[in-house]
Amino acid sequence: MDNSNYKSGFVALIGRPNVGKSTFLNYVVGQKVAIMSNVAQTTRNKIQGIYTTDRAQIIFIDTPGVHKPQTKLGDFMEKSTLSALDEVDAVLYIVSATEDRGPGDDFIINRLKNVKQPVFLVINKIDQINPNDLPEITAQYKDALPFAGVYPISALQGNNVNPLINKLIETLPNGPQYYPSDQISDHPERFVIAEMIREKVFELTRQEVPHSVAVDVTSVKREDDKHVHISANIIVERPGQKGIIIGKKGQMLKKIGTKARLDIEHLLGDKVFLQLWVKVVPDWRDKSAMLKDYGYRNKDY
């Protein structure tokens, strides 16, 4: 491969919760690397999706949705979003065509004013609006920042995503291929497995439980070249939440396990035996040591 013209770099995705950052990342990378749920704050770490071709490699940093922190976990998420913006070659500011510009957007725009790298405005979910409304939606943001480009897209259907990717590649500096071609995320498999289990908890028990759930994958053991044995604890803060996740006669936990197992098998390409337990750890979100245990690592703790 001729490396002299190879483009590579880091691109941050930022936006209010639920504007479709994870959907975008999954569409571009072609596999499920960021968990998707319409419950706010589902993405807690800077999950990186890696897009590689023979002429470029884009490493996407999927920052947590910006919101006001209410716990130590909230503080961690906020810091992790803002620090990501200083480490990248370009920023995609993603907004939803279905929502008006709000205070959350103003907060992000204010932070982006200090960013020296090119910032692209990406208006997602255009498949959900009347095309005639697009100019009005775009006008809400047009003068907010000197955007390097404005791209209306549908991350779900892929509309207009390729021109955006081509423009990003054009913007990136010449550089090495940082990751092997077949690698789609820099997180260890264990982290992605935990995220997949957590996604199913969100999906199936969204009323009372979501924000107080962490997943601790305690072991991933390969039995032979086709079978993997995985054990994980689902961590909640209150006994009532444990009851909800286990469900009547263990039915809910079984359902979570079955759905997560199918996703994990797709990720690993192996048959998976998944064992799940539910543990109550009061106030885990406010205990720094526990945040570290459950994968939220930060130099500030």
Residue 16, annotated as binding a ligand: yes
Backbone dihedral region of 41: left (phi > 0), alpha (psi from -120 to 50 degrees) or beta? Answer: left
Q: What are phi and psi for residue 70, nearest 5 degrees?
A: -120, -10
264 among the known binding-site residues?
Answer: no
Q: Is 124 annotated as a binding residue?
A: yes
Q: If you write DSSP's letter for every residue of 255-280 in order, what string do you get? A: HHHHHHHHHHHHHHTSEEEEEEEEEE
Residue 125 labelled as part of a binding site:
yes
- Cα–Cα distance, 19 to 28 (Å, whole number): 16
Tell me how far apart the alpha carbons of residues 18 and 200 are, in angstroms, rounded to a whole number: 17
Q: Which two tokens stand for residue 1?
A: 């491969």
* Spatial separation of the C-alpha atoms in residues 111 and 82, rounded to whole Å: 8
Residue with tokens 């997602």: 124
Q: Please indicate if the annotation marks 17 as binding a ligand.
A: yes
Q: Distance between CA atoms of 103 and 66, rounded to whole angstroms?
A: 11
- 27 closest CA partner among 182, 166, 193, 161: 161
Any residues with CB less than 8 A from the CB of 46 and at least 6 apart, and which?
61, 62, 63, 64, 80, 84
* Rounded Cα–Cα distance for residues 165 and 155 (Å): 12
Q: Is 198 assigned a ligand-binding role in the annotation?
A: no
86 is in an annotated binding site: no
Q: Is 49 annotated as a binding residue?
A: no
Annotated binding residue at 118? no
> Binding site annotation covers 126?
yes
Residue 64 is assigned to a ligand binding site:
yes
Binding residues for GTP: 15-22, 62-66, 124-127
Binding residues: 15-22, 62-66, 124-127
